[in-house]
Amino acid sequence: MKRLTLLMYCPDKKGIIADVTQYINRFNGNIIYIDQYVDRLEKVFFMRVVVEKNFSSNSFDSFKNSFNQELGMPYKLKCDFFLEDQIPQLAVFVSKYEHCLYDILSQYQSGKLTCKIHFVLSNHEKLKNIAEQFKIPFYHIPILKKNTEKAEAQQLKLLKKYKIDSIVLARYMQILSSNFVNIYPNQIINIHHSFLPAFPGAKPYHSAFNRGVKIIGATSHYVTDELDGGPIIEQDIVRVSHENEVDDFIAKGRDLERIVLLRALKQHCDRKIMVYNNKTIVFN
């Protein structure tokens, strides 16, 4: 028995749920989870189904093929199929802040993240010890104003070598090029230390402090061309008061950042996120 996760969407149409669930029943699949959502404005149907079934590699291919034929064509339905052993292949990018890296590696080491972390990459050497302490390979690719293109080329080479399909920017303080971003659509997860869309860009805690807000936030999102403009996966907040200085904002924010990034990463690893129109559907 293997577990298969299906993420599908199509123009909304009567009968789609009935037809999909029947198809699965016919193949002796046992539906152990089903959740669906209809975007009524866009008239698009989304569904996540988890099935338990006896799959040989053959039968998996034939299951997919006939699914696409029977349902994909008539419903204009697009579906991703993830067998339970197809886990995300991850790289973690960092700069100098360690709190998110600690959290990711601790949870990974405790078996709480359904993925394989291949390496940590940084434009600084500062966090090398942490990667080593957790026995994860560490690559240092410095980034200077002159060499960003060359540095990205090196990064891409590494990513290809390790067959990475998901990248976590764990407080990585460099902006990726459009070229880079477009190679990994909805596969690069960033944590931004503000309640987006408030305070995009640099130094959000300073801006929040200057504005005199009473609540600060953190936002995890997929990276797109637009700086801090990608689909939001998860947000959370914490209260601040006039007594808190910028350093207090930063300290309080640290706990937010690591929690929010980790939640987003878990949902990504568990194949619970779909993206449409620059928004996420996060099944729970």
With CB under 8 A, what is the number of residues at the site for a copy of itself?
62
Q: Which of 213, 223, 261, 269 binds a copy of itself (CB under 8 A)?
A: 213
Binding of residue 113 to a copy of itself (CB under 8 A): no
Which element (helix H / strand E) includes 178? helix 178-183
**Strand ranges in the chain using DSSP code E only, listed in sequence order:** 2-11, 30-39, 44-53, 78-83, 89-94, 116-122, 138-140, 166-169, 188-192, 215-222, 232-239, 273-276, 279-282
| 2-31 residues near a copy of itself, rule: CB under 8 A | 14-15, 17-18, 21-22, 25, 30-31
Binding of residue 198 to a copy of itself (CB under 8 A): yes
How does 258-271 read in b/e, with b if 16+ C-beta sit within 10 Å? bbbbbbbbbbbbbb
One character per residue 123-152, x = contact with a copy of itself (rule: CB under 8 A): ----------xx------------------
Residues in contact with 149: Cβ distance below 8 Å, sequence separation at least 6, in sequence order: 177
Mark whether 228 is an active-site residue. yes
Binding of residue 75 to a copy of itself (CB under 8 A): no
Residues in contact with 42: Cβ distance below 8 Å, sequence separation at least 6, in sequence order: 276, 277
* Crossing angle of the two packed helices 246-269 and 99-109, in degrees rounded to 10: 30
CA-wise closest residue to 30 among 50, 6, 51, 49: 51
CB of 149 to a copy of itself, least distance (A): 31
Q: Which of 67, 172, 199, 205 binds a copy of itself (CB under 8 A)?
A: 199
CB of 87 to a copy of itself, least distance (A): 18
One of 103, 228, 248, 270 is an active-site residue; which one?
228
Where along the sequence are the contacts to a copy of itself (CB under 8 A)? Answer: 14-15, 17-18, 21-22, 25, 30-32, 34-38, 40-41, 98-99, 102-103, 106-107, 110, 112, 133-134, 195-199, 211-215, 217, 231-237, 239, 241-243, 245, 251, 254-255, 259, 262-263, 278-282, 284
